[in-house]
Chain A
Amino acid sequence: MTKGTNSYPIHTITACHECDLLLRDKNVIRQRKTCCPRCGAVLHISCVNSMERTLALSLTGLLLVIPANTLPILTLELLGQSNTNTMINGIYQMAMGGYWWMSILVCFCSILAPTIKLLMLSFVSAGSLYGWSPRGIATALKVYQNLDEWGMFDVYMLGILISFIKMKDMGTLIPGFGLATFVALLLVATVSSTVFDKGLVWARLGSGSCDDEDVKEVNNV
């Protein structure tokens, strides 16, 4: 690594968001994956046809949301009685049992946050493809970034597996059609956020003004 001796225009430099190292931006968009040379944080991952793929996948995900939430995931049969679990009635049952805070949290992490994430992804990718208002796109993208770690489909999937194994000795467990749609939703949601290139969206939203300044002493990637 060398320290740049020349000065560079401010729009060609970037900084690592985890260690604040000042870096030249020349390769950040072109390479597939760029990491910070000092702390190793992933600065940017790009993907071919990112916006088109994200739009297709997030719309697919939105179609799957309602069946995954309302169709039975698991059914337990025991001594002639049976009980069915869907994502919604688990939350309802907990709220009825008096655990408000927990049911709100489970509802938020397993239904609301992932669904809003998919909505925002489809809005941002469609908006960026068809040139909608930059302000709306910026707001939607910020909502998506803030909700990112609160969407927990993957954790919920592991939860289904664990309750399946815990209960399998107790009675007969029948996986329902909701489980199949949930697995599909999990896959689509995960892939859509992997192919989504938010750096590209921000870059397309323009750089604002005041781009004529030069910055000295920049580190090279």
Chain B
Amino acid sequence: MSETGPMVSAKQQDLFLCHSCHKVQRNNRTSIQHCLRCGDVLHFRNRDSLTRTWALCITSAIFLVFANVYPIMTVIYLGKGNPDTIISGVILLAKHGMFPIAAVVFIASVAVPLLKLASLFWLLCLVHFKWKMDAKQCTKMYRMVTFVGRWSMLDLFVIAMLVTLVDLGGIATITGGPAATYFSTVVVLTMFAAHTFDPRLIWDLQVNDNEDENKK
């Protein structure tokens, strides 16, 4: 693919791609330019992409700690029961022999948020410190992050259902815990972070590399 030399991006040709309707149009050098077709404000890249994504990622990392420290759900069955954190809930499921469910819950509420934040931090560092990496692989990672993010809501939906199903007074009750609030905040913030990060920044690094080589 690279035998024809560096590939041309829209930005290099001074062309805008509208974020909403994907129409290509010429930069007419006014301070604020609107899309001819849908009227949205045009930008070459997401506005303040790196700053906003850094802020959202750091905030959600802090909230993720609280989400794992505090109990997320309390199951009281015939008068007995303790508050469970996310991880102790997974361990409890595994102890009862429900391995497939334990695996699903573990993936959705422990592995996905952690890996998602880690990959976002990785991508941020990559663009920030201009690391040389395979841009295609990094774009694939970004796509995984955006695809997988919404599945973390799973645990919250399960809690919402169990709270109403198991509300049998003295026999059995399930109530939520403070971690549910923190965890839902993490899910929302990481979804926003994935949205504000602009994958085109990864490809811009390559363009800059090629320009540097040409100068030499």
Binding site for B on A (CB under 8 A): 1-3, 10, 13-15, 17-22, 37-41, 73-74, 76, 78-79, 81, 83-86, 89-91, 93-94, 97, 99, 101-103, 105-106, 109-110, 138, 141-142, 145, 149-150, 152, 155-156, 158-160, 162-163, 165-167, 169-170, 199, 202, 205-210, 213, 215-219
* CA distance in complex: A90, B174 (Å): 12
Query: Which of A90, A99, A209 is B181 in contact with, Cβ under 8 Å?
Result: A99
Since A39-B203, A97-B176 are in contact, a sample of 19 more A-B pairs with Cβ atoms closer than 8 Å, ordered by chain A residue number, is A2-B4, A20-B10, A21-B10, A22-B7, A41-B139, A83-B165, A99-B176, A102-B156, A138-B37, A142-B38, A149-B149, A150-B191, A158-B154, A163-B162, A166-B93, A167-B166, A169-B96, A205-B21, A208-B25
Contact A38 B23 (CB under 8 A): no
Interfacial chain A residues near B25, Cβ < 8 Å: 10, 208, 210
Count chain B CB atoms within 10 A of each CB in A20, A78, A166 and give the residue with the most. Answer: A20
Query: Which of A15, A39, A76, A219 is B17 in contact with, Cβ under 8 Å?
Result: A15
* CA distance in complex: A110, B156 (Å): 11
Query: Which of B24, B149, B150, B163 is A15 in contact with, Cβ under 8 Å?
Result: B24
Contact B1 A1 (CB under 8 A): yes
Indicate with 1 or 0, residue by residue over B63-100, a CB within 8 angstroms of chain A CB atoms: 00000000000000100000000000000010010100
Given A19-B139, A21-B9, A78-B172, does the pair A102, B22 have CB atoms closer than 8 Å?
A: no
Query: Which of A22, A101, A202 is B37 in contact with, Cβ under 8 Å?
Result: A202
A-B contact pairs, 11 of them (CB 8 A): A10-B24, A14-B24, A15-B24, A17-B17, A20-B200, A21-B8, A22-B13, A93-B160, A93-B164, A102-B160, A159-B157
Contact B36 A207 (CB under 8 A): yes
Per the 8 Å Cβ criterion, residues 154-211 of B in contact with A are 154, 156-169, 171-172, 175-176, 180-181, 184-185, 187-188, 191, 199-200, 202-204
Contact A10 B9 (CB under 8 A): no
Contact A160 B36 (CB under 8 A): no
Interfacial chain B residues near A163, Cβ < 8 Å: 158, 161-162, 165
Binding site for A on B (CB under 8 A): 1, 4-5, 7-11, 13, 15, 17, 19-26, 35-40, 77, 93, 96, 98, 101, 104-105, 135-136, 139-140, 142-143, 146, 149-151, 153-154, 156-169, 171-172, 175-176, 180-181, 184-185, 187-188, 191, 199-200, 202-204
Q: Which residue from chain B places its CB closest to the CB of A210 in the assembled complex? A: B36
Contact B158 A102 (CB under 8 A): no
Contact B185 A167 (CB under 8 A): no
Contact B164 A156 (CB under 8 A): no
Q: Which residue from chain B places its CB closest to the CB of A99 in the assembled complex? A: B176
Minimal beta-carbon separation of B96 from chain A (angstroms): 8
Contact A210 B26 (CB under 8 A): yes
* CA distance in complex: A152, B148 (Å): 12
* CA distance in complex: A199, B38 (Å): 13
Interfacial chain B residues near A20, Cβ < 8 Å: 9-11, 17, 200, 203-204
Contact A78 B168 (CB under 8 A): yes
Interfacial chain A residues near B188, Cβ < 8 Å: 105
Q: Which residue from chain B places its CB closest to the CB of A217 in the assembled complex? A: B8
* CA distance in complex: A200, B149 (Å): 28
* CA distance in complex: A18, B139 (Å): 8
* CA distance in complex: A221, B166 (Å): 56
Q: Which residue from chain A places its CB closest to the CB of B100 in the assembled complex? A: A165
Contact B26 A167 (CB under 8 A): no
Contact A215 B168 (CB under 8 A): no
Contact A106 B157 (CB under 8 A): yes
Contact B176 A102 (CB under 8 A): yes
Contact A162 B185 (CB under 8 A): no
Contact A149 B150 (CB under 8 A): yes
Interfacial chain B residues near A2, Cβ < 8 Å: 4
Query: Which of A78, A99, A155, A218 is B8 in contact with, Cβ under 8 Å?
Result: A218
Q: Which residue from chain B places its CB closest to the CB of A44 in the assembled complex? A: B22
